[in-house]
Amino acid sequence: MAQCDDRHLGQLQGVWNPAADDRVHAHADPPDPAPRVAPGEDEPTRRAGGPWTSGERGDPDRPRRPNSRGGGEERVDSPPVGRSSKAAVFHGPGEAITIEEFPLPELRSGEALVRVSLCTICGSDLHTFTGRRTTPCPTILGHEIIGRIAALGPDQPLVDLRGRILSVGDRVTWTIAASCGDCFYCGEGLTQKCRDLFKYGHERIAPGHALSGGMAEYCHLSQGTGILAVPDLLSDKIACPVNCATATVAAAVRSAPPIEDRVILIQGAGMLGLTAAAMAGSLGAARVVVSDPDAERLARAAAFAATDTVDASSGGEELKKVVGDLTDGRGADTIFEFCGAPAALEAGLDCLRIGGSYLWAGSVAPSTPLALAPERVVRNLWTISGVHNYTHRDLDSALSFLCEHGADHPFEELVEGVYPLSAAQTALERAGAEGSLRLGLRMEAE
């Protein structure tokens, strides 16, 4: 099992243990994303990272961004003067992507500029590209990003989620959104629902903050972004999806009952489903059943700890039979949905045992309504939960999982092709047409 360099991530022993829930913490909670140190004061004490925190007010899921994104601070030109960044600009569905240049931004306190190494294409990027979901345009797509810090804002040090003071040259990942830290939802620990959310890869190009997506040579990080240093033992291909796919799965696992010795059903064998299977296996699940209509994707599942696979195209009855045979007719203890198909949700309900839990995380685009009688939920004592994006502690946990178990499974193979930035249009078209789990854009200077 690979171990993370302690210089990067702090003490890791016992970190990947979401089954412990919030009742036991092996480590102190990570601090706020960007604590401030006044000149002359001691630097913040480095704290060991841990995947799960209480979620109460004051925890790491409540960042601080006092001046929001426009705020009143003196601007200082930290990046090299005169430099610019190429970026792939999305103008709307059906319109050609253009490669354009933007000046590097002047950074405010609490901000950073990252030289992008790799950006992988997520399913939500494809939804935007094809018009299935809308986003303000023009924009720079991409939020699964890995890169190195090129410049930091002035005045105070920038500290990552584990208390490490960041420096130029550090390899980093970060949350897919920046949060204000002051609104009701941030106070409740639901930072992904912040009233003033700034979401990477989804923002309109604006003066002073054009570089907000990963399909560019540089990305401009706002104050209120949760950042984590990434050890070199993880390749770009393994680390890049950590701040979306892996962290979303970590959030779903955190929200679920204990997995050890349980029968787990995972619907969808894409990047999220395979990651969930690997996590369930690492947590000691008795059986990990993966269903998907794509035979090629199902064939990968065994390498990610799946004990059983079911062709979802054969209909819900086959899935119900397989799960029933494994459980003496009871049904799965916990089901994770990562496919977004209403028919799959209905089939899943037929496979859930009395008192079971069903976590929906893949239904992020408009779809047909689901027929579900409330009485059925009540009499079966079901718990049905929605999981959308994640909080800072989930990114922390996701990175810990990859450090501990990334070498146990062929995660690198899930990024099936890498294109130069100039071929962004081709990469997006092929990602949608070929059904690849992930394609990437490599941001080498062209």
For the segment 238-253, the average pLDDT, to the nearest whole number, is 98
Residue 228: predicted pLDDT = 98
Provide the pLDDT for residue 79: 56
Beta strands in 90-189 (DSSP E): 98-103, 112-120, 144-152, 171-178
For the stretch 411-423, pLDDT in tens is: 999 999 999 999 9
Average pLDDT value for residue range 210-227: 97
| pLDDT exceeds cutoff 70 at 19 | no
Query: Does 52 score more than 70 pLDDT?
Result: no
CATH code, residues 8-243+412-442? 3.90.180.10
Whether residue 30 is predicted with pLDDT greater than 90 in this model: the reply is no
Q: How many C-beta neighbours within 10 Å does residue 296 have? A: 10
pLDDT at 190 over 60: yes
pLDDT of 419 reads 97
User: Which of the four pLDDT bands, split at 50, 70 and 90, describes residue 363?
Assistant: confident
SS3 of 419, please?
Answer: strand
Peptide bond into 138 cis (omega under 30): yes
User: Of residues 286 and 11, which shows the higher confidence score?
Assistant: 286
251: three-class secondary structure by DSSP = helix
Nearest CA to 410 out of 246, 278, 232, 252 is that of 278
State how far the Cα of 256 lies from the Cα of 246, in Å rounded to an integer: 15
pLDDT at 365: 74
| Structure confidence at residue 366 (pLDDT) | 75
CATH number for the domain formed by residue range(s) 247-386? 3.40.50.720
Q: Closest Cα partner for 219 from 237, 240, 234? A: 240
In the block, which residue shows the tokens 């913040």? 44
Q: What is the mean pLDDT of residues 280-290?
A: 98
- Is 428's pLDDT higher than 90? yes
**Statement: residue 287 has pLDDT above 60:** yes
d(CA 92, CA 130): 9
Judged by DSSP in three states, 225 sits in: strand
Question: What type of residue is 350?
Answer: D
Residue 12's pLDDT is what?
30
Q: Is the pLDDT reported for residue 361 higher than 50?
A: yes
Domain residue ranges of the chain, discontinuous segments joined by +: 8-243+412-442, 247-386
pLDDT at 76: 40
- The model's confidence at residue 18, banded by pLDDT at 50, 70 and 90, is low
- Answer whether residue 26 shows pLDDT above 50: no
pLDDT tens, position by position, 384-397: 999 999 999 999 99
**Averaged over 212-219, what is the pLDDT?**
98
**Predicted TM-score of the model (pTM):** 0.84
Confidence at residue 3, expressed as pLDDT on a 0 to 100 scale = 44
Q: What is the mean pLDDT of the chain?
A: 85
What is the C-alpha to C-alpha distance for residues 222 and 210, in angstroms, rounded to an integer? 12
Residue 25's φ and ψ, nearest 5 degrees, are -125, 120
Confidence of residue 31 (pLDDT cuts 50, 70, 90): very low
